[in-house]
């Protein structure tokens, strides 16, 4: 992890135009800032998905549990499980035979989630695992004997450009058997202003979240970025459905990063591209599924139609 971080920072900051990967936002501070984002009224994604799980829990549970043999519910990037709990509680009430397997890169997140769940849903069968998505997916291939339901909430796939999203979905498909399911959230195209507001809050939480990349470079790689010399900037292209985040240098400057032994120069108003948050519609999700060897079985949406959870089969 540490070495890829170093390598990718070097690669991204010596490229033109400059870029950094949003996956490095998430250290302890970044995790906390993302929690704060999910609690902001402008960040509609969390509430919409929560509404979907609450409203359609019966139908979703029935779709998951279509054999008597039970299933493993494998959640990639489980986080604090706030949304998932709605579904887990329902499955428990209906006495469904399932094991919940939350997967997260943070062992801390897994431990907290398992502890919280054991208290809130005492009879739950839960077995958390720490790991990266793809490393876990490799391991999943071996679970042939039991039906798998793979769940990815939060429109996390939106951080991937379409070719990468297809790679990701294809790998998920490869780990699935005939009756396995994939349940995944996709944020939908909507009024561009609504999207911009979600990634550009006036309180500055998203700005701090984005700038945590520079913070980490300072702390972990001995950088001397002055965060005040950068501005968070968000654009949304309604044609492609791609929201992009940037950090924009407000003046010419030099930044040194000790452990990389480099000095990076910034022109005034030069950019670092940090994140994409792709928005979708049925056509695009259908196309992604087809390219990945999957097909959509069902979909569920919220009352405003802002967000959708799709159920895929191979």
CA separation for the pair 210, 246 (Å, rounded)? 8
**If DSSP codes are grouped into helix, strand and coil, which group holds residue 213?**
helix
Which of 155, 271, 274, 309 binds ligand AVJ (CB under 6 A)? It is 155
Answer yes or no whether residue 223 interacts with ligand AVJ by CB under 6 A: no
**Binding region for ligand AVJ (CB under 6 A) out of 56-64, 95-103, 154-162, 172-180:** 154-162
Class of residue 131 by CB neighbours under 10 A (exposed 0-12, middle 13-18, buried 19+)? middle
Which of 9, 13, 20, 37 binds ligand AVJ (CB under 6 A)? It is 37
Count residues near ligand AVJ (CB under 6 A): 12
Task: Give 74's DSSP letter.
Answer: E
Q: Identify which of residues 198 and 257 has a Cβ nearer to ligand AVJ in the complex.
A: 198
Q: Identify which of residues 72 and 154 has a Cβ nearer to ligand AVJ in the complex.
A: 154
Residues 173-212 that bind ligand AVJ (CB under 6 A): 199, 206, 209
Nearest to 44 by CA among 276, 238, 244, 302: 302
Mention every residue, 6+ apart, whose C-beta is less than 8 A from residue 204: 232
Mention every residue, 6+ apart, whose C-beta is less than 8 A from residue 121: 85, 88, 89, 92
Nearest to 297 by CA among 178, 190, 187: 178
What number of other Cβ atoms are within 10 A of residue 26's Cβ? 20
CA separation for the pair 307, 52 (Å, rounded)? 8
Residues 264-303 that bind ligand AVJ (CB under 6 A): 275, 277
Minimum gap (Å) between residue 15 Cβ and ligand AVJ:
21
Answer yes or no whether residue 159 interacts with ligand AVJ by CB under 6 A: yes
Peptide bond into 17 cis (omega under 30): yes
Which of 81, 158, 223, 241 binds ligand AVJ (CB under 6 A)? It is 158
CA 19, 23, 27, 29 torsion-angle sign? positive
CA separation for the pair 121, 102 (Å, rounded)? 15
CB-nearest residue to ligand AVJ: 277
**Binding region for ligand AVJ (CB under 6 A) out of 87-95, 118-126, 150-158, 257-265:** 150-158
First to last CA, the chain: 32
Q: Identify which of residues 81 and 158 has a Cβ nearer to ligand AVJ in the complex.
A: 158
**Binding region for ligand AVJ (CB under 6 A) out of 130-138, 143-151, 153-161, 255-263:** 153-161
**Binding region for ligand AVJ (CB under 6 A) out of 90-98, 106-114, 152-160, 220-228:** 152-160
Minimum gap (Å) between residue 201 Cβ and ligand AVJ:
9
Minimum gap (Å) between residue 118 Cβ and ligand AVJ:
26
Q: What angle do CA 100, 301, 186 make, to 5 degrees?
A: 70
Q: How many CA atoms lie within 13 A of 121 on its CB side?
A: 22
Which of 156, 179, 240, 301 binds ligand AVJ (CB under 6 A)? It is 156
Answer yes or no whether residue 12 interacts with ligand AVJ by CB under 6 A: no
Which of 81, 154, 223, 241 binds ligand AVJ (CB under 6 A)? It is 154
Residues lying near ligand AVJ in the complex (CB under 6 A): 37, 45, 154-156, 158-159, 199, 206, 209, 275, 277
């Amino acid at each position: 992890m540490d070495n890829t971080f170093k390598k990718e920072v070097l690669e991204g900051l010596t490229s033109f135009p400059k870029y950094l990967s949003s996956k490095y936002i998430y250290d302890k501070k970044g995790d906390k800032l993302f929690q704060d984002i999910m609690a902001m009224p402008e960040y509609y994604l969390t509430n919409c998905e929560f509404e979907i799980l609450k409203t359609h829990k019966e139908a979703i549970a029935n779709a998951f549990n279509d054999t008597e043999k039970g299933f493993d519910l494998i959640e990639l990037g489980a986080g604090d499980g706030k949304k998932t709990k709605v579904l887990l509680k329902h499955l428990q009430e209906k006495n469904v035979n399932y094991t919940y397997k939350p997967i997260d890169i943070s062992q801390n997140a897994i431990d907290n989630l398992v502890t919280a769940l054991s208290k809130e849903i005492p009879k739950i069968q839960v077995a958390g695992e720490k790991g990266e998505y793809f490393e876990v997916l490799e391991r999943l291939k071996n679970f042939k004997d039991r039906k798998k339901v793979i769940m990815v909430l939060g429109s996390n796939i939106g951080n991937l450009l379409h070719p990468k999203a297809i790679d990701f979905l294809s790998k998920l498909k490869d780990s699935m058997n005939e009756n396995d399911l994939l349940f995944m959230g996709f944020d939908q195209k909507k009024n561009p202003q609504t999207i911009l507001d979600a990634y550009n809050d006036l309180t500055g939480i998203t700005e701090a979240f984005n700038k945590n990349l520079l913070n980490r470079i300072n702390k972990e790689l001995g950088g001397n970025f002055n965060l005040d010399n950068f501005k968070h900037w968000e654009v949304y292209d309604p044609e492609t459905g791609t929201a992009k985040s940037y950090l924009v240098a407000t003046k010419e400057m030099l930044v040194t990063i000790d452990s990389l032994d480099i000095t990076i120069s910034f022109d005034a108003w030069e950019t670092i591209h940090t994140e994409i948050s792709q928005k979708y519609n049925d056509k695009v999700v259908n196309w992604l599924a087809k390219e990945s060897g999957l097909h959509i079985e069902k979909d569920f949406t919220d009352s405003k139609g802002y967000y959708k959870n799709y159920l895929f089969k191979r």
